[in-house]
Structure 1
Amino acid sequence: MRVGIISQARMTSTRLPGKVLREAGGQPLLAWHVQRLRAAGAPLYLAITTNSADDVLAEFAAAHGLPCTRGDEHDVLARYQQCAAAHELDVVVRVTSDCPLIAPELIAAGIQRYLAAADDQLYLSNALERTYPRGFDFEIFSSKMLAEAAAHATRPEDREHVTPFLHQNRADNVRFSHFRRPTDASRYRLTVDTAADFELLRQLLDDYDAGHMTAEELISLLDTHPELVAINARVEQKKL
């Protein structure tokens, strides 16, 4: 089974444009994202838009030896399907580039669990029943399911957000597996969507060497530093 991690990225974020190339800890957030994902042990691919604003992301991908697929800005589902097909993937791990501290050990464990199930109608995620901080999110599903969603999903939100057709089980053939933490840490936010989010990540990367921490080490750090948690505690996640 050929498993690949596909991450989506663009420079035209509405709340914090250019966020993935902002620097913290001595390098762009996207570099931390790529570095950590490569530690998960599966090939990594970048899915970006055809907008000229994202040429800089194509240049980043080339400089980092990262295969890159370009497609429609709003039809992200098609971008994922095109990337999966181009690289002949059997299994797709979907992540997003606004998670610079994504945890490779969780993704590796998720992949192992998915493959052990040997079920191409399985959707495995740690985001539907959230027990990990936002910023560790991943979804795993077969390229067969991805192709089905790309062929049949028609709502704009389906095309933009990639997996609603799957995790809402619109084809009525999906089996679910939820990757949970024994105790709930979903109150923490380690994604970057606003200036406050970036400030927290900047401090974590600059002052605490967070880029080399595991998920549990990051959670423990937040448990013991409420002043850090307060930096972006008021940020509301955008609704689908």
Structure 2
Amino acid sequence: MNINAIVATRMTSSRLPGKVLMDLGGKPALVRLIERLKRSKYIQEIVIATTTNSQDDIVVETAIEQGVLYYRGSEEDVLLRTVEAAESTNTDYIVQVTSDCPLIDEQTIDDVIKRMLDHPNIDYVGNHLVRTYPLGFSAEIFRTTTLREIEMTTKDPADREHVSLYYYEHPEQFHLSNVEASNYLRHPEYRLTLDTIQDYTLINNIFDALYHTKPNFDLHDIIRYLQKQPDLLSINRDIQQKKAR
């Protein structure tokens, strides 16, 4: 049974182009995410699912330098790209973490994976069906075979762009499960995703403050830091998150 992280990544982000290579504590954001994914005790391979666009050559170079796998596919059809990336790497379970989550830690990811492994009758596990974690700490897991069935079923452009959308918009078809954060970590109002320059300013501040003393800092450390520096949260407080629909 292969449990692999499939990370959809491209340079041509609409709101913040090139964000995956923006510097965080001396290394690109994508490298920081790969470092954190490698700490998972369940993930076997990390697959960077990028596009055939020549602008993404540097994404492939980064994946090779970091010793992880990559796949190149459709730029617009992220659902198809993800399924093909999974099938090309013999992935049984897809762990989906997006490239705009460079702060996510292994405990958050592993709690989602463990829920799936403990309950094999479940089709989908995530931690944002009811959001209790900060934005930027979303993790999901589902079977490659089921996602391929979805890919062959839906033609909805929103489903093609947002890989797992079909699962939670059709709950009558699937067994879904949501992992909730513990009380201390329960801060859905925190915006810790990398999607705008304001987000980058906040995330870079967090890396500068925490990484050099504790490279494997986790969500507990981030929340402790932000509670001591509450004004930092105003940096990106007014950013509106894009909706899938």
* Fold match (TM-score > 0.5): yes
2:82, 2:15 → 1: CA distance?
23
Residue pair 1:145, 1:166 contacting (<8 A) in 2 also: no
CA apart distance, 1:85: 0.8
5+ unaligned residues in a row in structure 2: which ranges? none
Structure 1 residues 211 and 185, CA gap change in structure 2 (3 angstroms): farther
Q: 2:226, 2:233 within 8 Å by CA — same for their partners in 1?
A: yes
Say if 2:223 is the partner of 1:224.
no
- Paired amino acid for 2:66: H
Contact 2:206-2:222 at 8 Å conserved across structures: no
**Counterpart in the other structure of 1:181:** 181
2:119 aligned with 1:117, yes or no?
Answer: yes
Partner of 2:67: 65
Conserved 8 A contact 1:130-1:186: yes
Cα distance in 2 for partners of 1:28, 1:89 equals 26
Q: What is the Cα deviation at residue 158 of structure 1?
A: 0.6
Q: Percent identity?
A: 38
Q: What's the TM-score, normalizing by structure 1? A: 0.95
The count of aligned residue pairs is 238
User: 1:166: which partner in 2?
Assistant: 167
Supply the distance in 2 between the matched residues of 1:132 and 1:82 (Cα, whole angstroms): 29
Alignment of 1:81-100 (within 5 A): 81-100=83-102
Cα deviation for residue 160 of structure 1 reads 0.7
SS of residue paired to 1:7 = strand
- In structure 2, the residue matched to 1:108 is 110
- In the aligned structure 2, how far is the partner of 1:208 from the partner of 1:3? 29
Write the deviation string for residues 17-69 of structure 1: whole angstroms up to 9, x where unpaired.
Answer: 10110112111111110000110131211100111110110111111111101
Q: CA RMSD in A?
A: 1.4
Contact 1:32 1:211 survives alignment (8 Å): no
Q: CA deviation at 1:74?
A: 0.8
Q: Who is 2:131 aligned against?
A: 130
Task: Name the structure 2 match of 1:151.
Answer: 152
Cα distance in structure 1, aligned partners of 2:208 and 2:50: 28
